[in-house]
Structure 1
Amino acid sequence: MRSLLGNATFLRLFAGRLVTNAGDSLAAVATMWLVHELGGSPALTGLAGALTLAPNTLQFLFGPLADRARLDRLLVGSQLTQLLVVLAVPVSWALGSLSVWVVMAVGPLTALLNQPVYPAQSAALPRIVADDELTDANSAFAFALQGSDSVLNAVGGVLVAAVGGVAVFLVDAVTFGVAALLFARLGLGRPGGEGTPDGEREDEVVAADGGDTEGGTSYFGDLREGFSFVRGTVLLHMAFVPIVVNFQGGMNLALMPGFADTLGGATAYGTLLSVAAVGMLLGSLVAGPLDSLPYGLLAPVALTSSGLAWVAGVYIPGLLPTAVLFGLAMLPLGVMSVLTSALIQSAVETSMLGRVSALLASSSSLAAPLGAFVGGAVADGVGVVPIFAASALAFFLAAIHHLVVPSLRRLPPVAEARRIETN
């Protein structure tokens, strides 16, 4: 980790990612508040939330851009366009034309414009840090971003109360401007092309052979190539785990308020959300020393541990033991999130990373709203507590999948990721 602190390019990428994440968090908080304030309808607030989450499922569309474009220009362009979009709210307010529909358009559009940032980050990290630093680099990103989400959601609420939702959008615009300045100094060109910092590793085809990666001559050709690459490797099986876990997360999103009512209401709700975030944070922090363990065996152990802690947390009475167990259930997921990112970055050639990471993220994002819908509908007839507990089946199912699929079970430690074999 110490060597990363001496890597100026990594620090600029890290700082820019942190600042733009702050902008996203503030935008989400301010959007929901203004929709509530201007629309006065829970249905409109719910619709705004759904629309703001929806762009996450489209992230795969930006993968080819991360693999083809100059990464610094892609990142800067994303930030500057978001800056202009969020300014629509204070400008509309100044002109006396601000409406709930303006805010509902700005929220999803801002989220959509930020989708290139994650695949660009994934494509950039292996080019600016050494192979044996990837786990630490991903751990630093995961810990900082998850931590900033927790803090900035609270900060956003305080700012809304202090200066109003419109003013928060002005603060938001500043964050995107600062992020653009940081990204502009990265000096990252196209993968394998000009304008890349010293020490960038050469493109290399790893054992997870997805076919000829030079065949994509257009955006749509690159997009198809991304699908073909994933379909031809163990990555297709790896994608199953975040899909199942996100489905469980969607169920929890819908059921957590009702479950918290059985433990004391709003205070319990806030407590459970906080300890879940802390568990993920701690998991991302301790992931580094675990990258020497075989991934294929560590994953089912981690998933099973999460499932057992979750079920125990639901049925052991009392807020304190439930909170502790929920935090413990999230800790292994934080570990696996970091190690999975590092494994993919080590096992996929640089020219494909944007497409592959974006495609995997989009596929898993689709599961969350589906889980929320199914969980809410079933719990309405059966009851919240049993369905909340049954959501842990997702962890056990993912663990079994890892054990019964040979290519998953044989996955090596992250440091040896080039040995991944095709199906």
Structure 2
Amino acid sequence: MGRVLAEPLPGPGSPRAHPGPPTGAEPIVTPTSTVHDAAAEGAAAVPLRANRSFRAYWVGEAVTLAGSSVHGVALPVIAVLELDASPGQVSLLAAAATVPAFVLALPAGVASDRYPKKKIMMGTDLAAAAVVSVVPVCWAVGVLSVPMLYAVALLLGALTVLHQAASIAIVPEIVDRSHMHPANARIAGAFSLADTAGTYGGTLVVGLLGAGRALWLDSVSYLISAWSASRIRPSSARRAAADRPARMGAAIREGVRYVMRDPMQRPLVLSLAGLAFADGIVTTYFAYTLLTRLDSGSTGLGLVMGVTAAGGLAGAVVATRLVDRFGPARVMLTGFLAYAVCGVPLLVARPEPVWLGVIPAAGALRTAAAVAAGTTQRSLRQQLCPPELQSRAQQTSVWLVTGLRPAAALTAGAIAAASSVHAALIAGTLLYLVPAALLWVSPVRRLTTMPTAAPTPVKDSAHGS
């Protein structure tokens, strides 16, 4: 696969160094190279603004994300206020929504590599619309129960995993390689806006319409997403080769083995997993610290959360320009380091009004850095990965991240029990440095521009003949 490497990294303001000698049969790709998929296909790249498939994808995914925020608010409200659920039942309801991400992540990657991604997206959206509509119908006729909410949460979680496996991996099939990073930046920006608006909007809609009726809007959002997916026209020239993984276990192992052995994919995925683990420790006690040690109150907590989330939109807007100016390695390294630095205010804050301005500002900067670094690493992984492994490589990352989240929460609890909540926050903030260290000692730190050469297909025994 083509990689753009330079040794050493250019200094500030200096011209980008030319890449070193290629390894094996890799083509030499310079920052001014014109080698890319579209050239190989004999067709010009379609600009994002004229790419109808990308617009349909972008709208559909943003709408369904905003709609999903409604059931994220409505299901717990129905459980507590309508069905008198106990704290233990509420905890099980939350777990039911997250368990499928860990259990099904790897099989979902195989399914997405095996079957047309567009059909998976449409099918999961239509199924989710039907599943969500069960709740208001059963609530209206008086047969809704907590176990039924468990089933709905589990099914929605499973459908979400399958949908996301296909929706992330389909981007290289509808966007030219030269536009991959701008596309991911726009996706991240839309998702940040939809997530923030959806969280507050979901609370407002549930308050105005009631939890049961509000779920009809969520069902409609899935239908809009399915219609948008039907408008997507993946490029057949960019799809995976005809060979498809034959056995589930062998196909899963092939995807995991590729990620763990590839010198570029491995540090990218492990750094993301390390960031998720550190963030899991900090977020376990983030709200707790604001409400107790800093006396923020619910209004202050809402302000901090809202401003912090808004930083993601800023990061998405500047991500492409930062990579064009400084290169992907510097953007990712700086982003991960900024994540650690911006966590310091929470450690030193006191219950004074000024900190309710400092902490949201630091949080917004941290989120902006995370989105800029995150869109860059996702674009790199998509561009470096052979098409027949796109979904499995992505889902290997999802599996690691989701598996580490409960471990991070347990680690935070253990540190707090042995020492203090503040000690857990310090440990999590220090661990934010690990992702940057992983990238620094890897070939990723020599990347000065996004790769443009098409990756080499991988042949393995997991593929059918």
What TM-score comes out, normalization by structure 1 length? 0.88
Q: Structure 1 unaligned runs (5+)? A: 189-195, 205-212
> Is the helix fraction higher in 1 or 2?
1
1 CA distance for matches of 2:160 and 2:363?
A: 30
The structural deviation recorded for 1:288 is 0.8
The structural deviation recorded for 1:412 is 4.3
Taking a change above 3 Å as real, the CA distance of residues 146 and 417 of structure 1, as seen in their structure-2 partners, is farther
2 CA distance for matches of 1:62 and 1:306?
A: 30
SS at 2:342's partner residue?
Answer: helix
SS at 1:333's partner residue?
Answer: helix
Of residues 237, 245, 261, the one that matches 2:275 is 245
The structural deviation recorded for 1:233 is 0.3
* Counterpart check, 1:311 vs 2:344: yes
Aligned length: 403
Taking a change above 3 Å as real, the CA distance of residues 215 and 171 of structure 1, as seen in their structure-2 partners, is closer
Of residues 273, 280, 284, the one that matches 2:316 is 284
The structural deviation recorded for 1:20 is 2.1
2 CA distance for matches of 1:259 and 1:417?
A: 48
2 CA distance for matches of 1:160 and 1:44?
A: 21
Taking a change above 3 Å as real, the CA distance of residues 336 and 132 of structure 1, as seen in their structure-2 partners, is same
Identity %: 23
Tell me if the contact between 2:110 and 2:245 (Cα under 8 Å) persists in the aligned partners.
no
Aligned to 1:383: 420
Aligned to 1:271: 303
* Counterpart check, 1:25 vs 2:56: no
- Detail structure 1 runs of 4+ shifted over 4 Å in the superposition: 416-420
- Per-residue deviation, residues 23-81 of structure 1 (Å, max 9, x unmatched): 32222111121122223423322222222122222322211222121222111111111
Tell me if the contact between 1:143 and 1:281 (Cα under 8 Å) persists in the aligned partners.
yes
RMSD: 2.5
The structural deviation recorded for 1:296 is 3.3
Aligned to 2:170: 124
Aligned to 1:326: 363
2 CA distance for matches of 1:378 and 1:233?
A: 34
Between 356-365 and 307-316, report the one with greater CA deviation. 307-316
Tell me if the contact between 1:226 and 1:355 (Cα under 8 Å) persists in the aligned partners.
yes
The structural deviation recorded for 1:137 is 0.6
The structural deviation recorded for 1:229 is 1.5
2 CA distance for matches of 1:71 and 1:116?
A: 10
Aligned to 1:231: 260
* Counterpart check, 1:15 vs 2:59: yes
Aligned to 1:83: 129
Of residues 406, 431, 434, the one that matches 1:397 is 434
Of residues 368, 391, 399, the one that matches 2:405 is 368
1 CA distance for matches of 2:228 and 2:337?
A: 41
Taking a change above 3 Å as real, the CA distance of residues 63 and 397 of structure 1, as seen in their structure-2 partners, is same
2 CA distance for matches of 1:343 and 1:327?
A: 24
Amino acid at match of 1:16: G
- Per-residue deviation, residues 175-218 of structure 1 (Å, max 9, x unmatched): 11221122122244xxxxxxx46xx44769xxxxxxxx957334
2 CA distance for matches of 1:297 and 1:6?
A: 30
The structural deviation recorded for 1:220 is 3.6
Amino acid at match of 1:314: L
Taking a change above 3 Å as real, the CA distance of residues 286 and 276 of structure 1, as seen in their structure-2 partners, is same
The structural deviation recorded for 1:343 is 0.5
Taking a change above 3 Å as real, the CA distance of residues 85 and 215 of structure 1, as seen in their structure-2 partners, is closer
Amino acid at match of 2:152: V
SS at 2:170's partner residue?
Answer: helix
1 CA distance for matches of 2:240 and 2:139?
A: 49
Of residues 334, 352, 374, the one that matches 1:301 is 334
Aligned to 1:182: 228
What TM-score comes out, normalization by structure 2 length? 0.80
Aligned to 1:95: 141
Taking a change above 3 Å as real, the CA distance of residues 343 and 302 of structure 1, as seen in their structure-2 partners, is same
2 CA distance for matches of 1:386 and 1:31?
A: 34
Tell me if the contact between 1:216 and 1:225 (Cα under 8 Å) persists in the aligned partners.
no
The structural deviation recorded for 1:123 is 2.2
2 CA distance for matches of 1:130 and 1:236?
A: 24
Tell me if the contact between 1:247 and 1:371 (Cα under 8 Å) persists in the aligned partners.
yes
The structural deviation recorded for 1:416 is 4.6
Tell me if the contact between 1:30 and 1:168 (Cα under 8 Å) persists in the aligned partners.
yes
Query: Bigger radius of gyration, 1 or 2?
Result: 2
The structural deviation recorded for 1:362 is 1.8
1 CA distance for matches of 2:70 and 2:206?
A: 9
Tell me if the contact between 1:80 and 1:176 (Cα under 8 Å) persists in the aligned partners.
yes
Write the mapping of 1:159-178 to structure 2, written as runs, cut at 5 A: 159-178=205-224
Of residues 450, 459, 465, the one that matches 1:414 is 450
